[in-house]
Each structure stands twice: as C-alpha cells, then as structure tokens.
Amino acid sequence: MGKYDPREIFNREPAVIAGAIRSVLYTAILLGVPYVKDLTIEQLAGIAIGLEVVLGLFVRQSSTPNVTVAEIVKTPPTAAGPIAAAEAAGVDTSKPAEG
C-alpha cells in the first residue's frame, strides 16, 4: 500500500478533513438535528461562513510551503519553459511540428 500512514492524514490531506467537517455540519442541518433545527437562517449562514473561514485558513496553513518571497527571487530558474527544454533535448523548434 506504499508509504501512506492514516495517522498522517492531518499533515497530508487537510482538504479532506475540512470537507468531512463541512459534510457533518451540513448533514446535521438537513436532517434537523434538535439544536440545529432551532437556529434561524441568518445564524446558520453565520456558522457556515465562520466555518469556511476557519477551515480555509487551516487548509492553507497546512498546504502552503514556508518559503519567503526573497528566497524565491534569489533562486535562479531551472528551466525557461517547454521550448528551452525541447531545445536542450536537441529538438529543432524553428519549424512547426508536422502532423
């Protein structure tokens, strides 16, 4: 099964966790769980917006690399794109491809 470890799900799959939390809340709303069915539409909308903000920050923090802009600018590019890669491989890019 590879190197996948279910205990690492918070580190590797933050969007799945966020989606599961959303699903539980929205299912509770649809099924009319006793506490949830007494809330007004405005309260439910406020809860949903707050949940989206918190989960969005959770997913972004878990999936964004910790690299500063200065480190990115200092790093020279490794390839100039597909044309440079093709030229490095010896492909003649001055003529259009046939076929």
Q: Residue 1: its pLDDT value, please?
A: 47
Confidence at residue 15, expressed as pLDDT on a 0 to 100 scale: 81
More confident of the two residues 53 and 84: 53
Q: What is the pTM of this model?
A: 0.48
* Cβ atoms 53, 59 nearer than 8 A: no
Instruction: pLDDT band for 97, please (50, 70, 90 cuts).
Output: low
Tell me: the pLDDT tens digits for 20-78? 888 888 888 888 887 777 888 898 889 889 988 888 888 777 666 666 666 666 655 55
